[in-house]
Amino acid sequence: MKKKLHGNTSGLRNTQIKKIETLYNHSTPPEYLADPELARFLVDLSHDIRRQIGLLIDRNGKIIYVIVGEPHRVVIPITSGYMAIPGKLKGLRLIHTHLKDEPLTRDDLTDLALLRLDYITAICITQDGKPGSVYSGHILPDEDSDPYQVLEPATIKDLNNDCLAQIIALESELTRKNSLYRPETGRENAFLINATTLDTKEAYASIEELKELCKTSHINVIGTAVQRRKTIDPKFVVGKGKLSSLIIKAIQNYATLLVFDRELSASQIRSITDFVEMKVIDRTQLILDIFAKQAKSREGKFQVELAQMEYLLPRLISKNTAMSRLTGGIGGRGPGETKLELNRRRVREKVNQLKKEIAKIRKQRQQQKSRRKRKELPIISIVGYTNAGKSTLLNTLTQSRIMAANRLFATLDPSSRRLRFPRDTEVIITDTVGFIQDLPKELMEAFHATLDELSDADIILHVIDISNPRYRQQKESVEKILKNLNLEQIPTLYIFNKTDKINLDDFDDQWLLNQGFPVCATQKQSLKLLVEKLESMVKSKINKG
């Protein structure tokens, strides 16, 4: 079976193409970088077409890929079956030509580091078409130094350098070091990337929130990078050169995952995943992953699965490598787990099925709401940024045991409880899903019915974590969502939570504190003024009704 040539063969004569194809018939001793006779033949072919030619050779000395390049570079194709996992090298070495006497280029060294090649070697061609200087390099396992070592110039007589023993020794050291950084089973080591055209202060704050999201999803963060740009690169977000250096840094720190602090477009996903042999996800996928793990109710699971499917649909592309690097467990597990080979038609069918199931559940909820309305019990809804203390407040007010934890999105499914005031007035008090800055639109749409429940509220309690340095930004994010839901007309009380974590006398906005109720949601006595105010508002509404 004839093997395919990779790269640019346009403009070549059929006789030239056939000669280059015969390279697949050659092999090289495993301990040689390349057989000297093979190197001479490679130089002859490259000199004839005036383009670089590259060979990817496995550890048995077999030529796996033949690449026809441009005059100044070769582009390495996606190498199915040769994925460089953490602690390992790729299992392939690149031997290619340079049309003039020049050392390994920046592109060569970037390929070496990014793709974790076993070795890279450039055989230079003299003006009379003969093999000239030979330049080689290999990965270094020390994360505190340069990611690679460039060797002294040699000749084709030096290609028998027992490279296989060196490769195995390097990989053994990489494996040993990787074992020191290997995360627990089921966890990933992530490197976080944020590109912004705005104030970097906001970008660093957003990265801190992304760290919290990673913590909630049981992902170890081993490094972060923020880049301020005039415009976001349409292909690579941070630009190809910057992305190269960040990925090399991530690999040196044994990262298994790149997380972008923004939503990646389908074209960005394609460009980035073609460029890096590492799993890649964006902020939206991370949030979807958390929702998938945290949703407990039937409706919640359906809503998350629908959000995941709608996120996946425009990103279904033919290259499975892109989708496998994009998902890899994170953002594609839980109730939304799906085989990557699902085509668009099947995903659309699944989306329609989920919408029907959700519609049924919503109809049932409407019936429950009708029964509740007949009893004419006032409704108080608790809203707030995720991890602001909404569930804790509901538990303390109603003496309930709804799960509350110090992490983002600890509870997703709405919870309702009855609250009886001291003077025998009863209300229903409801906890809603936590909000977050730039909540993915798929989730906003999927949870719209859940959030619509807020429209039935007589009073909204907006819980704000004033111990968080970003409390103003979080407050504004929640208010923006409430405005989008046309809920700003409902009477709203500010609940300034977690007062036990700060000194109120030193708080930077005393005026704001006077607009609401400073409380510690875990301490019932701190809620006394709030309960009195709520009882007064409810009685006033009942009397008007």
Same structural domain, 299 and 416: no
Same structural domain, 36 and 163: yes
Say which residue the tokens 């003024």 belong to.
529
Asked whether residue 529 is assigned to any structural domain, the reply reads yes
Same structural domain, 151 and 225: no
Looking at residue 308, what is its pLDDT?
85
Same structural domain, 363 and 421: no
Same structural domain, 523 and 404: yes
Look at the chain and report how many structural domains it folds into.
4
Model pLDDT for residues 162-220, shown as the tens digit of each residue: 999 999 999 998 888 877 777 666 688 999 999 999 888 888 988 998 998 898 888 99
Asked whether residue 55 is assigned to any structural domain, the reply reads yes
Residue 495: which of 381, 398, 378 has the closest Cα?
Answer: 381
Same structural domain, 355 and 401: no
DSSP one-letter code for 522: T
Same structural domain, 465 and 404: yes
Average pLDDT value for residue range 530-544:
83
Please identify, among 181, 208, 234, the residue that sits at the C-terminal boundary of a domain: 181
What CATH number should be reported for the domain holding residue 278?
3.40.50.11060
The reported pTM is 0.78
- What CA–CA distances, in Å, run from 58 to 61, 74, 113, 130? 5, 18, 17, 26
Which string of DSSP letters, residue by residue, matches 62-111? BEEEEEE--SS---PPP-TT----TT---SEEEEEEESSS----HHHHHH
Q: Residues 509, 477: contact at Cβ < 8 Å?
A: no
Asked whether residue 331 is assigned to any structural domain, the reply reads no
Same structural domain, 440 and 495: yes
Same structural domain, 153 and 192: no
Looking at residue 441, what is its pLDDT?
73
Give the mean pLDDT of the chain.
Answer: 84
Residue 436: which of 388, 402, 495 has the closest Cα?
Answer: 388
Asked whether residue 329 is assigned to any structural domain, the reply reads no
What CATH number should be reported for the domain holding residue 392?
3.40.50.300
Model pLDDT for residues 134-170, shown as the tens digit of each residue: 999 999 887 667 888 999 999 999 998 899 999 999 9
Same structural domain, 152 and 79: yes
Asked whether residue 410 is assigned to any structural domain, the reply reads yes
Instruction: Choose the weakest-confidence range: 83-97, 329-343, 397-411.
Output: 329-343
Looking at residue 520, what is its pLDDT?
94
Q: Which domain holds residue 420?
A: 376-543
Say which residue the tokens 């972008």 belong to.
260
Same structural domain, 414 and 518: yes
Q: Residues 497, 390: contact at Cβ < 8 Å?
A: no
Model pLDDT for residues 317-363, shown as the tens digit of each residue: 544 444 554 444 554 444 444 444 456 778 788 888 988 888 887 78
Asked whether residue 323 is assigned to any structural domain, the reply reads no
Looking at residue 401, what is its pLDDT?
67
Asked whether residue 325 is assigned to any structural domain, the reply reads no
Same structural domain, 381 and 526: yes
